[in-house]
Chains A and B, each alone.
Chain A
Amino acid sequence: DGGITQSPKYLFRKEGQNVTLSCEQNLNHDAMYWYRQDPGQGLRLIYYSQIVNDFQKGDIAEGYSVSREKKESFPLTVTSAQKNPTAFYLCASSIQSGTSGRVHNEQFFGPGTRLTVL
Chain B
Amino acid sequence: AQSVTQLDSHVSVSEGTPVLLRCNYSSSYSPSLFWYVQHPNKGLQLLLKYTSAATLVKGINGFEAEFKKSETSFHLTKPSAHMSDAAEYFCVVRYSSASKIIFGSGTRLSIRP
What is the interface of chain A, defined by CB distance below 8 A to chain B?
Answer: 6, 33, 35, 40-43, 45, 48, 50, 88, 90, 92, 97-99, 101-104, 106-112, 114
Contact = CB atoms under 8 A, between A and B. Distances in A.
Interface string B51-77: 110000000000000000000000000
Contacts of A41: 105-106
Say which size band chain B's interface belongs to.
Answer: 20 to 34
Given A41-B106, A42-B105, A103 B96 contact: yes
B34 A106 contact: yes
A112 B41 CA distance: 7
9 contacts: A42-B90, A88-B41, A90-B43, A98-B94, A98-B96, A104-B49, A104-B94, A107-B46, A107-B101
A99 B43 contact: no
A75 to B, nearest CB: 17
B44 interface: yes
A3 B5 CA distance: 29
B32 interface: yes
Select the residue from A92, A98, A101, A114 with max chain B CB neighbours within 10 A.
A98
Contact of A104 (B9, B32, B42, B100): B32
Select the residue from A43, A48, A109, A111 with max chain B CB neighbours within 10 A.
A43
Given A106-B49, A114-B41, A42 B104 contact: yes
A102 B36 CA distance: 20
Contact of B42 (A42, A107, A112): A112
Given A42-B90, A42-B106, A102-B32, A90 B44 contact: yes
B51 A102 contact: yes
